[in-house]
Chain A
């Protein structure tokens, strides 16, 4: 098996798309191709990550569309990977396997989602298809409602308070305000969203105890990475970033079915597998992008991945350890909370953001001291399908 490196990255603006889904994906892909400087070299395979095009955009077989628009036919191998909100990292994993095995050399992985083509009710409905068909969905269970029930249990058991949830949102909005491609570039304050007289107007309930600013926005956006065997990295312009480890795990679909519903077992297992493959530990990580679709998830994932002990994540947050400049900056890009969450694309965008950090190209939200190792968690369903990735600067 060959080592695999990321040699190019690209991303569109997140938020409300100015372009069609395929045009967004072409822009992100072209950015990655220009970033890498591939010259006359041919792309061997295209893996597309998307969750909702069939329902929201009335399009299927998206990878064929992208290959067509990018004039990569007929030589290119291509397919679309739908793995819920973990589609992005799953598509990268397929790309990595295809390069590692020697099947392909240069692989484009592009995530794209255009959710704002439908209204919020439709978008909520479409994401709720991730819930269990009989035990959850008929009751109107949505992802925020699973997160609400999880949060209540977690708060009662571990002493997490509403102010800790707000701290995640405030930190990630502060970070995202510095990221020109983020969806919500608005700094928020504790007074404005929790303690002030207008807090409930500014920050209404979504699924108690979660409020509006505890939940990520519904975003459009596309991101892309170019993968190549480590032995070829000298042929490209930019500092290569090695995919040092990837791990994945699948938990029960219904949250009620888990022996302890406050445990995110698939997150823990995916992280352990990624660290084992990379021969690294959580202590080696300098920057992380975690899947904060809900504020509670950043806290709990930071524990399940081994950065903090169980029940201690909110204390590390309170001490400022997860801010840019802290011991372990988490979501310097703004995370899903502020950068946005184009569901099928998110896993790709997390890796793009980590590559920028490891190259030292993140500009206003660059983590100091030249980070060497990055870590991402891409979380599908309510933790039923999780992919973790460890990245390393250089090969």
Chain B
């Protein structure tokens, strides 16, 4: 199952939004074209989470919010041993979770 990791580009004003909203936050347009999330960005903040919800076998997961160069922010899984805020990261699509035995894919960030 691939989660919605596409950025919505408003066909009227060109504004990118992620996550998507029904109306464009800039011009209230309702038509969008999908743009793949990708490229590099800067780590805004992060956490190592030990109190995990259901279906996790590991001790912790590392999560972060990244400011992507393409102009949106995204939350995702960090595969970085010692993250530092402000660090440059690269975007990948990979497995981020298992729910009811099914793999969920989403954004994974690694060090540049």
Contact = CB atoms under 8 A, between A and B. Distances in A.
A135 B19 contact: yes
Contacts of A132: 19
B81 interface: no
30 contacts: A120-B51, A121-B53, A121-B54, A128-B53, A134-B3, A135-B19, A136-B75, A138-B97, A138-B99, A139-B75, A139-B106, A139-B107, A140-B63, A140-B96, A142-B52, A145-B47, A148-B47, A149-B64, A152-B85, A153-B44, A153-B85, A156-B85, A204-B50, A205-B48, A206-B49, A207-B47, A207-B48, A207-B49, A256-B74, A261-B65
A255 interface: yes
Given A256-B65, A261-B65, A142 B51 contact: yes
Contacts of B53: 121, 124-125, 128, 140, 142
Nearest to A136: B75
Contacts of B96: 138-140
Interface string B23-62: 0000000000000000000001111111111101000110
A253 to B, nearest CB: 8
Contact of A139 (B44, B45, B51, B76): B76
A118 B86 CA distance: 39
A122 interface: yes
Contacts of A149: 45-47, 63-65
Interface in B57-112: 60-61, 63-65, 73-77, 85, 96-97, 99, 104, 106-107
Among all A-B residue pairs, the 7 with the closest Cβ atoms? A148-B47, A135-B19, A125-B53, A256-B73, A134-B4, A153-B45, A149-B45
Contacts of A153: 44-45, 85
B51 to A, nearest CB: 5
Interface in A139-169: 139-142, 144-145, 148-150, 152-153, 156
Contacts of B3: 134, 138
Given A136-B75, A139-B97, A254 B19 contact: yes
Which of A122, A140, A207, A254 gathers the greatest number of chain B CB atoms within 10 Å? A140
Contact of A254 (B61, B75, B77, B104): B75
Interface of A: 120-122, 124-125, 128, 132, 134-136, 138-142, 144-145, 148-150, 152-153, 156, 204-210, 215, 254-257, 261
Contact of A205 (B18, B44, B50, B54): B50
B91 to A, nearest CB: 13
A140 B52 CA distance: 7
A153 B51 CA distance: 20
Nearest to A149: B45
Nearest to A209: B47
B56 to A, nearest CB: 7
A59 B34 CA distance: 41
Contacts of A156: 85
A152 B43 CA distance: 12
Contacts of B104: 138
Contact of A125 (B44, B50, B54, B73): B54
A300 B75 CA distance: 22
B21 to A, nearest CB: 9
B20 to A, nearest CB: 8
A207 B47 CA distance: 6
Contacts of B19: 132, 134-135, 254, 257
A261 B48 contact: no
Contacts of A261: 44-45, 65
A148 B85 CA distance: 13
Given A138-B106, A139-B75, A139-B96, A124 B85 contact: no
Nearest to A154: B45
Contacts of B44: 153, 261
Given A134-B3, A140-B96, A207-B49, 17 more contacts: A124-B52, A135-B18, A138-B97, A138-B104, A140-B53, A140-B97, A142-B49, A145-B63, A149-B46, A150-B45, A152-B85, A156-B85, A207-B47, A210-B47, A256-B74, A256-B75, A257-B19
Contacts of A152: 45-47, 85
B88 to A, nearest CB: 17
